[in-house]
Structure 1
Amino acid sequence: MPDLDIALKDAMQIDGAVGAALVDYGSGMALGIVGGSRDFDLAIAAAGNSDVVRANLRAMEMLGIEGGIEDILVTLGGQYHIIRPVTGHSGQGLFLYLVLSKQRANLALARHSLRRIEENLEI
C-alpha cells in the first residue's frame, strides 16, 4: 500500500499530469504537493478547491442526498482539475487533487488511475 509520497508520484505518472496534492479540506492545507509551475501555484489552487468540496458536501446535506462524493471535475479552457475525496478511515477529511493538461490527458483513464491510487493510499 503506497504512502503519500509514492501516491503523489504515481499521480504524476498519469498522462497529462501537471500537478497533484493531498489536501485537508477542513483547513485547506496541502499535506503534500508535486508538480505545479511558476505560473500555477498548486498550494493556492488546493486551498481554493477545499471550498468546492465543502460546498458540495453542504449542498448534499441540505438536499438529503445519501452517500459520498466519488469525484468532482472542474473543466477549464486548457486543464482538467479532478478532486477525489479519500474514502479510507485514516483519510477522512482529505482529498486527492490532480491537475491535467487537456491536450495531453485522457480524462477517463486519469479518473480510473486516480481512483486506484486513492483506494490504495495509506495515510
Structure 2
Amino acid sequence: MNIETALKEAMSIDGALGAALVDYESGMSLGVLGGGPHLDLELAAAGNTEVVRAKQRTLKSIGLDDEIEDILITLGGQYHLIRPLTSAGGSLFLYLALDRSRSNLALARHSLRKVESELEV
C-alpha cells in the first residue's frame, strides 16, 4: 500500500484525528492527513521526531538491544501514538492522534501495526 492509502487506513481507525508518516532524521513529513485548527499535524510530527530520537538515544546509552514498538503519549482528551517502522528499514514513523473518548487504544495499536505491515515506501 502506498503512503496515501496507508494514511487513509490510519484515519479510518475509530477516533482518529490525524495521521502522518514522518522521517525522524530530517523531521519532515512524507504525508499527512487530518488535523485541523486545534491539531497542526506538520508541527506535531516534527516535534515528535525529538521524542523518537531521545528514546533511541536512551536505549543505546543503557545498552538495551531492542526495538521500539510504540511510543504512547496520553493527554486529557487525546492519545498520540508513534510507531517507528521496522519494515521500512529506515528512519520513518507513523504518527496517529486519536480522540480519547472515541477510540480503543488496543484496537488502534493493532490497526496501526497492520497499516505498517502493508505500507510500501
- Could you tell me the TM-score, scaled by structure 1's length? 0.96
- Superposition RMSD in Å: 0.7
Number of the residue aligned with 1:40: 39
Decide whether the 8 Å contact of 1:24 with 1:31 is kept in 2: yes
Between the two proteins, the alignment pairs up a number of residues equal to 121
Matched, 1:24 2:23: yes
Long gaps (5+) in structure 2: none
Cα displacement (A) at 1:58: 0.1
C-alpha contact (below 8 Å) 1:83/1:98 kept by paired residues: yes
- Residue in structure 1 matched with residue 8 of structure 2 by the alignment: 9
Displacement of 1:121 in angstroms is 0.7
Q: Which residue does 2:58 correspond to in 1?
A: 59
Match of 1:112 in 2: 110
Task: Give the Å deviation of 1:17.
Answer: 0.1
Between the aligned partners of 1:106 and 1:37, the Cα distance in structure 2 is 22
Letter in 1 for 2:29: A
CA drift at 1:120 = 1.1
Mark the CA change 1:91 to 1:41 in structure 2 (over 3 Å): closer, same or farther: farther
- Aligned mates of 1:71, 1:12 — CA distance in 2: 17
Q: Give me the whole-angstrom Cα distance separating, in 1, the residues matched to 2:120 and 2:39.
A: 28
Q: TM-score, normalised by structure 2?
A: 0.98
Identity %: 60
Cα deviation, residue 91, structure 1:
4.5
Give distance in 2, aligned partners of 1:108 and 1:20. Answer: 17
Question: SS at 1:14's partner residue?
Answer: coil
| CA deviation string 1:66-98 (max 9, x = no partner) | 12100100001100000001112x441000000
User: Quick one: which amino acid aligns to residue 106 of structure 2?
Assistant: A
